């Protein structure tokens, strides 16, 4: 079916113009332009991923702040050095146990 026959068919059918207009609008709305539905869905997905990363970094920052506060006390500083860096006093032996 060539274009002239198709256009004649649409003109004969009164509802054809409306259907063609609606289909054209749907194609533009779904696929074309910066505000298309597909791009909008992608942007929302990226926003959710970035919010998850933001929350993860906030938790890491809060954990680091708690550790900094803990290190102000001499006893907790010694405990942290022993646990994280395996430091020990002279004459002590350290046994590492894998869990």
Each residue's pLDDT tens digit, 56-97: 999 999 999 998 888 888 888 888 888 888 777 787 777 777
Q: Are 94 and 86 in contact (CB under 8 A)?
A: yes
Q: Could you tell me the residue range of the domain that residue 28 belongs to?
A: 3-85
Using pLDDT thresholds of 50, 70 and 90, give the confidence band for residue 10: low
31 within some domain: yes
Per-residue pLDDT tens digits for 42-62: 999 999 999 999 999 999 999
Q: In this structure, what token pair is assigned to residue 38?
A: 């597909």
Q: Are 70 and 80 in contact (CB under 8 A)?
A: yes
What's the domain count of the chain? 1
63 within some domain: yes
The DSSP line for 22-85 is HHHHHHHHHHSSTT-HHHHHHHHHHHHHHHHHHHHHHHHHHHHHHHHHHTTSHHHHHHHHHHHH
91 within some domain: no
73 within some domain: yes
Q: State residue 28 phi and psi, 5-degree precision.
A: -65, -45
């Amino acid at each position: 079916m060539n274009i002239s026959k198709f256009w004649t068919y649409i003109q004969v059918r009164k509802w054809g113009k409306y259907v063609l207009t609606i289909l054209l609008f749907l194609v533009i709305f779904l696929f074309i332009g910066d505000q298309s539905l597909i791009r909008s869905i992608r942007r929302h997905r990226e926003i959710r991923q970035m919010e998850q990363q933001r929350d993860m970094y906030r938790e890491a920052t809060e954990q680091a702040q708690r550790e900094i506060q803990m290190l102000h006390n001499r006893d907790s500083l010694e405990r942290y050095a022993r646990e994280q860096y395996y430091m020990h006093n002279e004459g002590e032996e350290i046994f590492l146990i894998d869990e």
